Amino acid sequence: MNNGNITNITNEEKLLAMLSHLSMLFGGIILPIILWAVQKDKSNFVRFHSLQAIFFHIAYLLMVIIITMVIVLLSLASGLGITFFATRNQDPGAMSAILIIVMAISIGLIFLVIFGMIGYSIYLAVKAYGGNYIMVPVIGKIIYRKIFNTL
């Protein structure tokens, strides 16, 4: 498996591969889908990077959905806890503090995921523009094997 530079990759292919990854900043998932559809039979390099970008977008979306669901569930649980404490004539302020802490941690986690994914997509874009077959963890090797028919 070749993770290094490939000498016969054109500047246009490098640019299209870079744009596939930068679609995290603009264009959304539509841009790598269009690049994949247009270039899938012309360039394995663009095909590889556009497929990685597509799956990277899907992973990002799933992470945001999961984190949002956890935030909603924790908020509901904390809200029920505040209601429980209020009906028991105990201090609901303790549960309110827990709710604030949970929300702050959750919002911080969302920002960490957003900026982490954007930063990683910029890193992938720079590597793609350098002509590298850099692989996203988990899906990168699978895509590489499918495109180049290797085991």
What is the Cα–Cα distance from 1 to 151, expressed in whole angstroms? 10
pLDDT score at 27 = 74
pLDDT score at 90 = 59
> Would you say residue 3 lies in a domain?
no
> Would you say residue 90 lies in a domain?
yes
> Would you say residue 119 lies in a domain?
yes
How many distinct structural domains can be found in the chain? 1
Phi, psi of 132 (to 5 degrees): -95, 145
> Would you say residue 149 lies in a domain?
no
Q: Say how many residues make up the chain.
A: 151
Looking at every residue in the chain, the average pLDDT score rounds to 81
pLDDT digits (tens, 9 = 90+) for 61-85: 888 888 888 878 877 776 666 566 5
Averaged pLDDT for residues 12-34 = 89
| Helices and strands in the chain: count of H runs, count of E runs | 5, 0
> Would you say residue 35 lies in a domain?
yes
Averaged pLDDT for residues 18-23 = 91
Cβ contact 31:127 at 8 Å: no
pLDDT score at 1 = 44
> Would you say residue 63 lies in a domain?
yes
**Cα of 2 vs its chain's centroid, Å:** 24
Q: Does 5 score more than 50 pLDDT? A: no
Query: CA-CA distances (angstroms) from residue 69 to 16, 63, 74, 106, 124?
Result: 35, 10, 8, 10, 28
Give the residue numbers spanning the domain of 18.
11-137
> Would you say residue 147 lies in a domain?
no
